[in-house]
Structure 1
Amino acid sequence: MDEIGHILREARENRGLTLEDAQAHTRINARYLTALENGQYSALPTPVHARGFLRNYARFLGLDPQPLLDRYLTGQGQDVPLTPPSVQEITPETPLAERQDQPFFDPVNMEVSGKGFSAAGGSSGSMLQIVIIVALVVALALIANRFIPILFGNDGSNAVQEISSAVQDVVADITNATPTPTPTTAPPSEDEEAAGGSTIVLDGTEQPIVDTSRNNPGAAGATPTPTRPPLPATLDEIRLKVDILERTWMEVTIDGSVVFSGIAKTNDAFEWTAQNEAKIVTGNAVGVFVTINDVALGRLGGRGERYEEVWRTTQ
């Protein structure tokens, strides 16, 4: 097989093209392309056509046509003209030739996307930065939650709540999270408005919101309201159910062991059973709805109020 034809055929097959594909792109009849690949130049109309077909076909296949033309002229017994080096036409289908005088560069740390070059670790780096920021914010919140009440006493609950709200906003901004909606409180009736109470829809059941200061050891002189359901004087056990209506700091102790200490989020629900004593301390009493042995006691207090209450099997 002719050397020029071998080069042309190998280039076409490497590109996965048929002679019909080449004819469709170059507008050169397939039989002339076959003649070029087989070295049958006498089958071409004229030597001028042969050189033109060879030049266009080589460019289509991404080859430099000048060396092939020089070989064709040499094979035909013609002198190769001394012409300045030709500049290869760059087309979208022309592959980039590697220079042998320079070390090969493999961009292992770069990725090509529709918008340009970017570092291969860009996405993971951004995610790592977000994780680090969130971890630092959470750590600061935990430190503040632990030590501010100790430093400021009861007055520190408001500071803890403000810090917790700020942390929640920062985390929401970083992660594009949507704040959790608070439950809707039903409007109070005329009788409840007169008594200073209201109702809330909890688990599909309308429950009264009542004062819970009766069992609060720290609320000296507080007058219990008659709307809070009384508990029996003696209980076999204390089945404590806590529904979180607003975000709050809370600590729960069951029979002398702390079973929860931290930030409780809206719509969280907890259940514990105590044999002797159950205790709750919260920094936002209005957000904690308590049920003891299926008796709904309601919210523990007002918004932003630090509250502590203890229930015992023998009241």
Structure 2
Amino acid sequence: MSIGNSREDDRLSVGQALQQARIHAGLSVDEVSQTTRVRVPLVRAIEQDDFSRCGGDVYARGHIRALARAVGLDPAGLVARYDEEHGGRPEPTPAAPLFEAERISSEPRRPNWTAAMVAAIVVVVGFVGFTLFTGGGSGDGGTVAEEAPEKTPAATPPTTGKPAAPEPEPTGSAIAAAPADKVTVKLSADDGQSWISARDHNGRLIHEGVLRQGDSRTFTDSKRIDLVLGNAGAVQLFVNGKEVEEVGENGQVQRLSYTKGDPEAG
């Protein structure tokens, strides 16, 4: 049986043609459902020309083909009848206009902020690493005083026949201007170089690096300064304006802590 064999067939809708063919073939709705795997309620709806439960034209065409084969009808003719009754297939969109539309509507590229942030971090880390490697003082904490300039040997005065007056020995007034409400520590490398580390009372690292011979460092804090000296015998130490005797021996590591009181080893 095929649609279009008679004028009476031409007047039948898709659902009516499927129902008539099923009855003519002596098949029940359940039998057609088992053969096509189309649910019974959906088979009944299609035979009533209710395609709203198919889920769209694509699924409706697939169900029509399956049911047509099961009842002995021409699937192509029924699908063509369905397209005529429901507006036909949508025409494909030409490739070129679609491509142009997508290209015109594309959004401008946004800057990659993540890549920029990573690059900035790499630059900062590289700069800090270079500073620590070269032993420069630019990485010191904010409470560190600037390095004392190297002493320039004074010009030899002309000989007048009188012995030159002896230079005054350093006393406790070497840094007498240290404020009384803070702890002030001065380190000088007179007999070699030493690795030093200084932290404030909160444990924050103020300075860490090599103190070369002839250099000096001064640190201040409101409560306490903790020191680590890698070569204690090479360091001359002043705390709150007073020199600390016997800081340590050459090659000895010393851990010291000082407050606003008199110099006292921690």
If the length of structure 2 is used for normalisation, what is the TM-score? 0.31
Higher strand share: 1
**Whose radius of gyration is greater, 1 or 2?**
2
The answer to which structure, 1 or 2, has the higher relative contact order (CA under 8 A, 6+ apart) is 2
The TM-score, its normalising length taken from structure 1, stands at 0.27
